[in-house]
Structure 1
């Protein structure tokens, strides 16, 4: 089993606590307070053992969380019966957006899934509509994991990969996208956040520079590509990008690459199988 980078654990917890700071929508059957209850007692601790400030995540989460929330609401309104949350962590969408006839699948590392299950039990919340499934995105086949969890490959699905691809190796991202498209029924949608650098820079150089400058060589960030490379990857793995000329993005961070200030964007990409 892949051991998670402590920095990634901290980032996951910072984002979970940050999301709980916002007022977010819910369905009539959903629990609007589930997010705060789910992260009760959670602490984002940095690798040095000190608490990490959640304020650093709020600017990035402010546009990102509503974007993915709206996708779920739109899918429910359209009658999509399944929502798969890849790298779900402590995300509460399955609780806030509970809706008759819709099944949610939350996939993440085994220890995260176990802790989330424990927290849900303590909350006493109804999870009949939610399947938690353990998955190592480096070694496991997502189609097999979903099949074991009860996902129906013949019915449309909304697949969410919010803030996941950045932390996977490029080959693992490509494998994940390909296996999802092979498992996805007609009418299925995939939405991800993609970290994007300017087109004239080499991706390996960008990633290594970010690792050295921001994390001293121990960073958890692995996949940052040009937008054209992302579009080509989606096409190669069986996905059609909706409105490829329209860019929805937020600036994530700036780093000096090849002696020039370089803005790394988080772009929101939505595609159909």
Structure 2
């Protein structure tokens, strides 16, 4: 990152937004591989900018997260990339990315017929938009709207304040964000999503049959200096019954095993196997 670009970035995203830098690190590493599953041309720029402004003590946490969760992160990215493209092709011309972090899908996926809404906190967008502007990024979507809202508050009202139309089918992305919410907060978010979803809308999220943080992830984090600072932010999200609860709210579910998908993609995860991706369709 050159000095003029770095000067425009005054602070890295705060709180759980710091984990989005770790996700960007994983995407940057994957994008540099000759056998890459996807290409995110902005990920390395986010990493470089964050390194200039993060506290030195934060960096070991991020590197430890990437070392432990690399396979999970890049498999999830590829799966959700495909999900978004397929949903748009099927008629979901609105895409809402909840807890968007440093997701750059609106700037890299071939979805010229889609209006993309990214929901996250002002601190995340303050960092993200400065980096994208410095890179000269232009949306590949028809439009991209930053909705500055905390998911723990009334994000639905903020979304309604833009051009979002609940009468149009929407593809919702909850990538890695629900576990950072309490059970009550996560159910309110998914409930609001259902209220704003026309028939045919879609939703993707992750699911685990285990209550609380994965004990293997917890043990690995505790053995890696700094990584526990990220794992401590996990609140549990929808919990082990969450998948069935979503189904009871008027969604038809399809479940994809993470381990099988990782092997298919050539990114098996021997350290942290397990988990599922759930794609839901509004009925």
Q: TM-score, normalising length from structure 1?
A: 0.75
**Partner in structure 2 of residue 267 of structure 1:** 276
Q: Secondary structure of 2:49's partner?
A: coil
1:148 aligns with 2:161: yes
**Partner in structure 2 of residue 135 of structure 1:** 149
1:1-273 counterparts in 2 under 5 A?
A: 6=15, 8-23=16-31, 33-43=41-51, 48-51=57-60, 52-53=62-63, 54-127=66-139, 129-140=143-154, 142-197=155-210, 203=211, 214=222, 215=228, 219-223=232-236, 227=240, 229-242=241-254, 246-250=255-259, 265-273=274-282
TM-superposed CA distance for 1:204, in Å, is 6.4
TM-superposed CA distance for 1:265, in Å, is 3.8
Kept in 2: contact 1:81–1:157 (CA 8 A): yes
In 2, the alpha carbon distance for the partners of 1:46 and 1:265 equals: 33
Kept in 1: contact 2:180–2:235 (CA 8 A): yes
Query: 1:71-129 CA distances to partner (integer Å, 9 max, x unpaired)?
Result: 01212322321111111100111111143221111111111022222222222222461
Taking structure 1 as reference, are residues 113 and 74 closer, same or farther at Cα in structure 2, changes over 3 Å only? same
Query: 1:155-207 CA distances to partner (integer Å, 9 max, x unpaired)?
Result: 1111000101111111011001111101011110000112331xxxxx36989
How many residues get paired? 242
Structure that is richer in helix per residue:
2
In 1, the alpha carbon distance for the partners of 2:118 and 2:246 equals: 22
TM-superposed CA distance for 1:67, in Å, is 0.7
Query: 1:197-238 CA distances to partner (integer Å, 9 max, x unpaired)?
Result: 1xxxxx36989x959x844898111116664x1222203433
Kept in 1: contact 2:185–2:237 (CA 8 A): no
Gaps of 5+ in 1: 198-202, 252-262
In 2, the alpha carbon distance for the partners of 1:122 and 1:149 equals: 25
In 1, the alpha carbon distance for the partners of 2:176 and 2:230 equals: 21
Q: Secondary structure of 1:149's partner?
A: coil
TM-superposed CA distance for 1:39, in Å, is 4.3
